[in-house]
Amino acid sequence: MYDKLVKKEATLAVIGLGYVGLPIALEFARKIKVIGFDINQKRVDMMRSNVDPSNELTASDFEGCDISFTADLEDLKAANFYIVAVPTPIDASNEPDIRPLVGASTTVGKVLKKGDYVVYESTVYPGCTEEDCIPVLEQMSGLKWKEDFNVGYSPERINPGDKVHTLATIVKVSSGDTPESAEEIAKTYELVVDAGVHRAASIKVAEAAKIIENTQRDVNIALINELSIIFNRMDINTYEVLEAAGTKWNFLKFFPGLVGGHCIGVDPYYLTHKAQKLGYHAKIINSGRYVNDSMGFYVGKQTVKKILAKGKSIIDSRILVMGATFKEDVSDIRNSRVIDVVKEIESFSCKVEIVDPHADKEEYAHEYGHELVDAPTGKYDAVIVAVNHAEYVAMSEADFKNLMTDKGILVDLKGIFRDKIKDLDYWSL
Ligand SMILES: NC(=O)c1ccc[n+]([C@@H]2O[C@H](COP(=O)([O-])OP(=O)(O)OC[C@H]3O[C@@H](n4cnc5c(N)ncnc54)[C@H](O)[C@@H]3O)[C@@H](O)[C@H]2O)c1
């Protein structure tokens, strides 16, 4: 397969062209022939005009690429090596929603031919590829797994907004269903990953490796969040504690905060779901999720308490929340936990306004039922810097003073203004 791809006698297709799929598709398209497939025609049209709908890549990233974008199943028939990078979200009950994955497997199954390869990149629980995806491929194609086609799993590790850790510079984990297919898949990824490819022992090992990377982060952040709640009661600044403890060589550097986005706050639920199915209730992972999912409400309550302590009427208070996206310097608002802060404060009947230089107003209103304001309006009793966008990091104490009423409070979720604030009332996690 590898030789055929390199000689352009075979074609690679990427199914699902989002944050993960599009960069992979373009990177491969510099070396081999690629079809980019997505069910969203609007996104396909944008990519045909060299526009990345996820706002991560620029028009120049599309240049020099041998790629055709399509939403038409007929066009997919020309492919031989399929990479699936569709979303793996959770539902309202925090259970895995693998419908996009089953949908993409159905699509690929319809066009699968003898000798083809299918590699999944979506983050899943261990066993998902073999137990949930391959049966769909077999059923739709009428072909037999390992006799007629091969399957692999290679998780994605990119980090939205990160220009240093990119597809080419992060070691990639890959796996296959036989030693031969594993090698073909690894060699194919080596075409685009300069940092190298780690050959995992099996598909399940590769699936598990990805899911624990984010689970480990989630649990570690939860510990620091819990410490921050404890230290708040002791009137100790958590960032000062972390700075001191961080001077030890083996102290791990994690910080308190909201855990949002579609990876760290989501992936652990895939693992706990699978564990539960196997009769094990994951206590540490679930506790971590509980702590992290509660942080927005905690911050909201602390802000209200601080306003009340100033002798102000809570119903007449105005609060400005700066930052709505799930992390700094990106436009992605999906699964942002900033809304938890807003809802908690609003439950006390305070008026809350949200600004964000990156988030799309319409998308935000659609997703969260809350309007973003273009710019601050008047003075506020508290300003909460929820996301450390570069625009906010550059702000001075005078800038915040201009936004506040008398006895205003600055709530700094990321602890970035700690050394800059001399007069204002200041609180951070
Ligand atoms: N975003 C990240 O930084 C990141 C990092 C590592 C891993 N992941 C994982 O990668 C996977 C993809 O995430 P993403 O952030 O790229 O998602 P995304 O929402 O940005 O993009 C998904 C794309 O898939 C398309 N799609 C949905 N269902 C489809 C189907 N049945 N057939 C074809 N196209 C379909 C959508 O239209 C969209 O364009 C997820 O499993 C995620 O957990 C994401």
CA distances from 111 to 185, 285, 413 (A): 20, 39, 49
2-201 matches 217-428 in fold: yes
Q: Which amino acid would we find at residue 123?
A: T
- pLDDT in the model for residue 159: 83
What is the pTM for the complete model shown?
Answer: 0.93
Query: Helix, strand or coil for residue 279?
Result: coil
- Helix (H) or strand (E) holding 244, with range, is helix 238-245
For residue 213, pLDDT beyond 90: yes
Task: Please state, in angstroms and rounded to a whole number, the distance separating the CA atoms of residues 275 and 96.
Answer: 12
Question: Residue 216 to residues 264, 315, 326: CA-CA distances in angstroms?
Answer: 9, 41, 19
Dihedral sign for Cα atoms in the order 140, 143, 144, 145: negative
Confidence of residue 297 (pLDDT cuts 50, 70, 90): very high
pLDDT value of residue 368: 94
Q: Which of 65, 128, 133, 263 is catalytic?
A: 263
CA atoms of 157 and 56, how far apart (whole Å)? 15
Q: Is the pLDDT of residue 168 over 90?
A: no
310 alpha carbon to ligand 1 midpoint, in Å?
46
156 lines ligand 1 (CB under 6 A): yes
Give 157's contacts (C-beta < 8 A, 6+ positions apart).
165, 170, 172, 173, 210, 213
* CATH topology assigned to domain 2-201: Rossmann fold (3.40.50)
pLDDT of residue 56: 86
pLDDT tens-digit map of 384-404:
999 999 999 999 999 999 999
161 — pLDDT class (breaks 50, 70, 90): confident
CB 136 near ligand 1, within 6 Å: no
Cβ–ligand 1 distance for 415 under 6 Å, the answer: no
The pLDDT assigned to 384 comes to 98
Please provide the average confidence, as pLDDT, over all residues in the chain. 96
Give the closest residue (by CA) to ligand 1 atom 13: 87
pLDDT given for residue 11 in this prediction: 97
Q: Spell out the domain ranges in the chain.
A: 2-201, 217-428
**Per-residue pLDDT, 413:** 94
Instruction: List pLDDT tens digits, range 114-131.
Output: 999 999 999 999 999 999
**Which residue in 140, 161, 154, 12 sits closest to 79, CA to CA?**
12
pLDDT given for residue 109 in this prediction: 98
| Ligand 1 site, residue 39, Cβ cutoff 6 A | yes
Structure tokens at 41: 């025609």
Instruction: Give residue 55's pLDDT.
Output: 84
**Which residues touch 100 (CB under 8 Å, ≥6 apart)?**
16, 86, 87, 88, 89, 122
Q: Is 96 in the pocket of ligand 1 (CB under 6 A)?
A: no
Q: Compute the average pLDDT of residues 317-329.
A: 95
User: What is the pLDDT, as a whole number, of residue 162?
Assistant: 79
The mean pLDDT of 96-100, rounded to a whole number, is 97
Ligand 1 centroid distance, CA of 25 (Å): 13
Give the list of residues 6+ apart from residue 371 with CB closer than 8 angstroms, or none: 361, 364, 365
The 10 Å CB-count burial string (b at 16+, else e) for 334-359 is ebbbbbbbbebbeebebebbbbbbbb
| Residue bearing the bigger pLDDT, 167 or 125 | 125
State the amino acid at position 33 in one-letter form: K
* Shortest-distance Cα residue to atom 41 of ligand 1: 122
Ligand 1 site-directed mutation target among 35, 38, 136, most atoms within 8 Å of CB: 38
For the segment 44-54, the average pLDDT, to the nearest whole number, is 95
Distance separating alpha carbons of residues 407 and 355, to the nearest angstrom? 22
Give backbone dihedrals phi and psi of 404, rounded to 5 degrees, phi first: -115, 155
Q: Rounded distance, CA 265 to CA 123, Å? A: 13
Query: Got the DSSP string for 59-95?
Result: GGGGTT--EEEE--HHHHTT-SEEEE-----B-TTS-
Radius of gyration of the chain (CA): 24
For residue 79, pLDDT beyond 80:
yes
Which residue among 70, 159, 262 has the greatest number of ligand 1 atoms within 8 angstroms of its CB, and so is best to mutate? Answer: 262
pLDDT tens digits for range 179-207? 999 999 999 999 999 999 999 999 999 99
**2-33: pLDDT as tens digits:** 999 999 999 999 999 999 999 999 999 999 99
Q: What is the pLDDT of residue 261?
A: 86
Find out whether 13 and 83 touch, Cβ atoms under 8 Å: yes
Please give the Cα distance from 310 to 301 (Å, whole number): 15
Gap between the Cα atoms of 406 and 261, Å rounded: 35
Task: Examine the pLDDT at 167 and tell me if it is beyond 90.
Answer: no
Neighbouring C-beta atoms of residue 210, cutoff 10 Å: 25
Q: Among 406, 353, 407, which Cα is nearest to 384's?
A: 353
How is residue 129 annotated by DSSP? Answer: I
The pLDDT value given to residue 166: 86
Judge whether 128 counts as a catalytic residue: no
pLDDT at position 160 over 80: no
Residue pair 35/67 in contact by the 8 Å Cβ criterion = yes
Kindly state the average pLDDT of the residues 200-219.
Answer: 97
Tell me the pLDDT band of 97, cut-offs 50, 70 and 90. very high
Q: Are 342 and 172 in contact (CB under 8 A)?
A: no
Q: Phi then psi for 266, rounded to 5 degrees?
A: -115, -50
Task: Give the fold, CATH level 3, of 217-428.
Answer: Rossmann fold (3.40.50)
Distance (Å) from CA 305 to ligand 1 centroid: 40
Mean pLDDT of the 302-319 span? 94
Residues of the chain with pLDDT > 90, as a percent, come to: 94
Atom of ligand 1 nearest to the CA of 262: 43
Q: How far is the CA of 89 from the centre of ligand 1 (A)?
A: 9
CA angle 96, 257, 218 (to 5 degrees): 40
